[in-house]
Amino acid sequence: MLGPAILAASRSDKMRRIVSAAPVTKPVVTRFIPGETVDQVIPIVEELTRKGLEVTLDVVGEDITTVEQSYAARDAYLELIGRLKDLGLGEKAEMSVKLSMFGQALEGGHELALANVRPVVEAAAAIGTTVTLDAEDHTTLDSMFAIHEELRKDFPQTGCVIQAYLFRTEADARRLADAGSRVRIVKGAYKEPAEVAYQDKGEIDKAYVRILKTLMEGKGYPMIGSHDPRLIAIGQELARQAGRKPDEYEFQMLYGIRSEEHLRLAAEGHRMRVYTAYGTDWYGYFMRRLAEKPANLLFFLRSMITKN
């Protein structure tokens, strides 16, 4: 029951100020968000790619309130892509973006987010890589899928994320699989009401398997976003049944979570991509990681008590 409470706190400005300012927060945050600047994250990208892993980079930040912040988000990604180009890391590192950070929730936000994300997708294509649109809460998804479809007219390799906990997702998966898209399937990390989403973990896992089967049997490129050993084994089996070669799907996990499993899958010959978030506005991302595993919260609280 802690998970939903943490997710509710992830939208609270008061909690944001308290958690962000606590001196003990930093070391706990660093496990999941290994840097605040491009200079800090580039060595991490180099280290991961040296180990045979691929990367998707997320500049953290959401819930922005001004158009200027949306331009700053776009520019942060353009700076990152420039650095990847200089280092020749383009093909190993793609980008993950949250359209909320590109202005989606502001007035006229759909057009603003599309206008901001397009140059990022263009710059990524120019260095041989691509962009995946993350899935946020369910109210944002029609706009996200419309932007995805629009971007794919010029950049068909643009990816998107679908969330197994939402009732709508099986239909979305069929549409995207038919269209030959790159699609990351995840369980879902937001607090969603029972009218739109499964609440039971077992139901979510079953939906995940049904959706993954659709993606594997379809024409697109499935990206299996999960740390769940059972789903990873099922993913391998579904890929085998669908006759997919190792470069026709990939696994994805978050930086700082089950890192030994990243290396094991890569050593077995799978494509393994590590979702690596960086930046200063890490609060929302960090709280979702706490919500996924309440033991993380206990560790965090214990370090607060022992250090104070």
Interface residues toward ligand FAD, by CB under 6 A:
134-135, 161, 163, 184, 186-190, 225-228, 252-254, 257-258, 275, 289, 292-293, 296
Neighbours of 215 (CB within 10 A): 26
Contacts of 293 (CB under 8 A, 6+ apart): none
Residue whose CB is less far from ligand FAD, 5 or 126 = 5
What's the closest the beta carbon of residue 16 comes to ligand FAD, in angstroms? 19
Residue whose CB is less far from ligand FAD, 86 or 203 = 203
Active-site residue, from 74, 118, 152, 184: 184
Residue whose CB is less far from ligand FAD, 67 or 228 = 228
Structure tokens at 194: 């029972």
User: Active-site residue 289, yes or no?
Assistant: no
Is residue 43 packed enough to be buried (19+ CB in 10 Å), middle (13-18) or exposed (0-12)?
A: exposed
Encode 259-298: b = buried (16+ Cβ within 10 Å), e = exposed.
beebeebbeeebbbbbbbbbbebbbbbbbbbbbbeeebbe
What's the closest the beta carbon of residue 181 comes to ligand FAD, in angstroms? 15
What's the closest the beta carbon of residue 22 comes to ligand FAD, in angstroms? 19
Active-site residue, from 58, 134, 172, 205: 134
Is residue 86 packed enough to be buried (19+ CB in 10 Å), middle (13-18) or exposed (0-12)?
A: exposed
* 29 to 41, 58, 85, 278: CA distances (angstroms): 14, 15, 28, 10
User: Active-site residue 134, yes or no?
Assistant: yes
What's the closest the beta carbon of residue 130 comes to ligand FAD, in angstroms? 15
Q: Residues with catalytic annotation?
A: 134, 184
